[in-house]
Chains A and B, each alone.
Chain A
Amino acid sequence: MRRTVLWFGVILLANSLFGQATIADEPLSDRIANYDIDVILDHENRMIRGKQTLTWTNPSSDTIRTLQFHLYLNAFKNSQSTFLSKSSREFPGSLKAEDKETWGYSEIVKFIDQHGTEITSNLQYIQPDDDNTSDQTVIELTLDKPVYPKETHQFKLEFQAKIPKIVARTGYGRDYYFMVQWFPKLGVYEPAGMRYAEKGQWNCHQYHSQSEYYADFGVYNVRITVPKDMIVGASGIFESGNINDDGTRTHVYRAEDVIDFAWTASPHFQEVKDKWEHVNIRLLIQPEHKEHTIRYIKAAKQALSYFKKHLGVYPYTTLTIVDPPIYGIRSSGMEYPTLVTGASIAKLPNAIRTVEIITVHEFAHQYFMQMLASNEFEEPWLDEGFTTYFENRIMDQYYGDQTATIDLLGYRAGGMEQSRTSYTGMRNPQIAEVFRPAWGFKHGGYNSLAYHKTCTWIATLDNMVGREVMDDILITYFERWKFKHPCGQDFIDVANEVVSKRHGEKFGVNLDWFFDQVLYSNEVCDYKIHTITNNLITNKIGFFDQEGEKVFIESREEVEDSVYNSVVIIHRLGQAKFPVDILVRFDDGTEVLEHWEGIDPTYELNYTGSKKIEWAHLDPESKNLMDLNLNNNSKRVERDTDVVWKYTSKFMFWVQNLITTLTVLI
């Protein structure tokens, strides 16, 4: 009976949500920037033409006289854009000099203000991040009449864009279109006190090759007109799709409380529909990737339910997963509100879990990017790091902590451990500190640091404070900052607050010492058990009478009541300082757990007694994942050579196999 009522309730809820973009009756966000867009795809000429109404509310007490817009597609306008001129190594040959169809641009052709005045001529390209005057990815509009505090204005503009071939994230590949950052998108006006703003200011960065985005929440009503044989997917919910007289079809979508709007079109998509609680899952998959359908859907459902349990319910009613074709592979693995791209290739073995990892990762961005709409330009770690951390938690839970990434022919790796080694295995883990803007990783390390080092220190924090407290921190952070724009300090404040509430001063007055090291500095951590010695100390040296004989006893000889001085010496090899536990085991089977603050360069544990040390283990539960080398965290007095012979014999066998195989050439 209870079950029937429950099912009835679920059906009722599902029906009542029909046509709703979110599960909430009230707006979830402040809806500062709202867009109404009509866009037509000119497939033949690889163009889009659009009419856009922007309804924007001044969130501050400032009088605003300019607006700033992103024109992201101008990154692909010419080789002088900041995006391309700084990333020639990353995208070699993608844009072909001889093929103008591979290049793209975006322009505002008409701009009418609230009062009906055309002010197109007031538009001017600006470069807030560098002095590259050729970069046209940000445009500023000087208003004839300002927007007063808390006032809402409506602007009407017309734009057109030439779609580039997919170089990074957006564009076309044959008849596959992945349209993101395709319309003139308003920057974020940050009032004084918001994030790091000391005074009211526009935050509208140029498009850099590694940077992602930052935008205000709003409602998007978008009408997309494409050739009628094209299957369309988009952010938000589908409202209608009518065929026009000219053989095109207009697809109408609405997305609420989101920071962006993405859409895709291709005649080859195969549509798979599924449902998880209130969420309509729609997978747009390439026919040649059909074999991966279950993998995509299963991973999406696992992520949905994990987030519901550990952070908060996904409030949107749709989730669209786009599976790009091989000729659109550069659009794969990206996140947009309620729409993500996966990544797969035909015949990819199940044991290589790329499909699942990407799906889970991009879905996690719905929380850390979309609902917690941090500034991805300035603090990429705040979305990528947390996303990677959750990706690994989910993957490790469902696919095994040593097999979540790959489990093929004896080679295996888990999610969290793979992330850790992506950081610890860097050639130079000190190349930069995590706290940098996306374009600040000039000489590398963006991926390893923003994604993986961040994930590793969040996991270390998790191990330190315990999973329950960690979830408390994350839920508090999410509840307090969802549908807003948190910055790094906001997370630190929450962490300090929750940890001091739950643990008192167990980890110090606050956790600033932790964040200073892992986030704001490039210091590395490596503790090592340097030596263990068991020195025999005895007073019995010299000649002793035993049963009428004179017996000479050397100092090194062991007697029944021998006494040992056992010493463990620990070295701190890195500059970072973390408190550590040390487990010491003696030959009589007893163990003792010691604690060291980890401050001095070296430390010594001293024992005198009849028992000898067998081994010592620093951080025996491997809580501190920031330690660059976990192997030197333990040391045994007696060497164990089994593993040496195992891999020596394997290596020799491998060499012999190699050379005998080569004899086929003879």
Chain B
Amino acid sequence: MNFFVGYLVGIWYAVRRMKMWLLLYSITLLFGITATLAIPDILGAGLSDTLSAHKLMEGFNHTVFDDFIHDHGQKLSVVTGRLPLMAFIFILLFVWLTGGILKTYDMIAEKFTFQRFWAGCMQYGWLLTRVFFLFLFIHLLVAFLVYLPMIRVVRSGFEALENELSFYRILKISVVVHLVFAVFIAMVSDYVKVRLVKEGRKSVFKELLPSVRFVFRHFHRTFPMYLMYLLMFVLVAMFYWWLSERIGMQTMSAILVVFVLQQLYIFFRVGTKLMNLGSICAMHEAILLRDRKREQPLEIEEINV
């Protein structure tokens, strides 16, 4: 299976499991609604009966916005202050849901049932939580090591640099290096998860090295497949931005249209995650199958010898 086929199969997996896709999107929507619940009241108190509001309909208006924040900012910051906790809960929940996703993909040939999906969540939840925290630690460690020179430069008050252009160069290099590492770590983390689920392994640490080896050995497949998703994401995001800017949000009907667009975009973003996991499952299985086919005759030959 080459990377492009892997990419297409991922999309196919996600589309075939539309119920699962809808479920995950609904959870995102639920979190969005919960976080936003207090917003209409806060906005309503400050903006629904003032004539200044129309200036915010035409676009951003610094005066109206700032006067509003000065009066109601406290209430808004209570809402935004809750977001980090909500985001953390969402991540933990999604980690558990990943168990269900992988279990579903592992049995892609069979009919989808929510029962199996939830069973997967429960079965792999703790295991995948351990994977998450391990890779979170690795991500943070790598980020710290990559950005350390930059942090030292900033702390030294730019003494070590010729001018800010040198700083930009360090920043650019750091970001590129970080991105390469981050993508690699993310790929390894995905293959660790797939190996744990598909092969029923229990030790996270034992799967680390084989996964690294797997990603490296099949880099020509795994990496371009990631890039395809990245490219798809960038294209869709650009298209969304372009379209929503064109429509604007100056009338109630335009607000409704853009709202639908926003939700379609979020639906797509949730889908991207599902497609990516689908591709990885498919790729892993295909390579494993091929390797086994190659290994079997060899074993026979050896016996013959």
Binding site for B on A (CB under 8 A): 93, 286, 288, 325-327, 345-347, 402, 410-414, 417-418, 420-421, 424-425, 615, 617, 628-636, 639-653, 655-666
| A642 to B57 CA separation, bound complex (whole angstroms) | 8
Give the B interface residue count (CB, 8 A): 67
A649 B259 Cβ-Cβ under 8 A: yes
Chain B 76-112 per-residue mask, 1 if CB under 8 angstroms from chain A, else 0: 0000000100110011001100100000000000000
* A642: min CB distance to chain B, Å: 5
Given contacts A652-B262, A663-B94, A665-B136, 19 further A-B contacts (CB under 8 A): A410-B60, A421-B62, A421-B63, A421-B67, A628-B70, A633-B50, A642-B252, A644-B44, A645-B255, A646-B56, A647-B43, A649-B249, A653-B262, A653-B265, A653-B266, A655-B86, A657-B266, A663-B273, A665-B139
B53 A418 Cβ-Cβ under 8 A: no
Q: Can you report 13 A-B residue pairs in the complex whose CB atoms are below 8 A from each other?
A: A327-B163, A346-B164, A346-B168, A417-B62, A617-B51, A628-B70, A629-B70, A631-B50, A649-B258, A649-B262, A655-B86, A663-B91, A665-B91
| A534 to B209 CA separation, bound complex (whole angstroms) | 76
Residues of B within 8 A of A629 (CB): 67, 70-71
A639 B48 Cβ-Cβ under 8 A: yes
**Stretch touching chain A among B9-17, B30-38, B117-125:** B30-38
Closest residue of B by beta carbon distance from A635: B49
A662 B90 Cβ-Cβ under 8 A: yes
Interface set, chain B 183-213, CB cutoff 8 A to A: 186
B67 A655 Cβ-Cβ under 8 A: no
Query: B52, B54, B91, B164: which contacts A662 (Cβ < 8 A)?
Result: B91
Residues of A within 8 A of B69 (CB): 425
Closest residue of B by beta carbon distance from A407: B60
Interface centre among B40, B67, B68, B270 (most CB of A within 10 A): B67
Residues of A within 8 A of B35 (CB): 651-652, 655
Verify if B223 is at the interface (C-beta below 8 Å from A). no
Verify if B39 is at the interface (C-beta below 8 Å from A). yes
Query: B46, B48, B135, B164: which contacts A641 (Cβ < 8 A)?
Result: B48
| A635 to B53 CA separation, bound complex (whole angstroms) | 10
Closest residue of B by beta carbon distance from A616: B51
Chain B 147-164 per-residue mask, 1 if CB under 8 angstroms from chain A, else 0: 000000000011101011
Verify if B221 is at the interface (C-beta below 8 Å from A). no
Given known A655-B35, A662-B90, contact A644–B67 (CB-CB < 8 A): no
Given known A658-B83, A662-B91, contact A631–B71 (CB-CB < 8 A): yes
Verify if B174 is at the interface (C-beta below 8 Å from A). no
* B22: min CB distance to chain A, Å: 15
The majority secondary structure among interface residues of chain A is helix
Given known A418-B62, A642-B57, contact A631–B158 (CB-CB < 8 A): no
* B229: min CB distance to chain A, Å: 11
* A646: min CB distance to chain B, Å: 5
B51 A657 Cβ-Cβ under 8 A: no
| A663 to B164 CA separation, bound complex (whole angstroms) | 34
| A651 to B86 CA separation, bound complex (whole angstroms) | 14
Query: B39, B136, B251: which contacts A647 (Cβ < 8 A)?
Result: B39
| A640 to B52 CA separation, bound complex (whole angstroms) | 11
B28 A660 Cβ-Cβ under 8 A: yes
A648 B39 Cβ-Cβ under 8 A: yes
Query: B36, B54, B70, B251: which contacts A651 (Cβ < 8 A)?
Result: B36
B71 A288 Cβ-Cβ under 8 A: no
| A250 to B54 CA separation, bound complex (whole angstroms) | 63
Verify if B303 is at the interface (C-beta below 8 Å from A). no
Interface centre among B32, B39, B159, B168 (most CB of A within 10 A): B32
Residues of A within 8 A of B258 (CB): 649
| A401 to B49 CA separation, bound complex (whole angstroms) | 25
* B101: min CB distance to chain A, Å: 10
Verify if B132 is at the interface (C-beta below 8 Å from A). yes
Verify if B47 is at the interface (C-beta below 8 Å from A). yes
| A643 to B45 CA separation, bound complex (whole angstroms) | 12
Verify if B59 is at the interface (C-beta below 8 Å from A). yes
B168 A662 Cβ-Cβ under 8 A: no
A666 B98 Cβ-Cβ under 8 A: yes
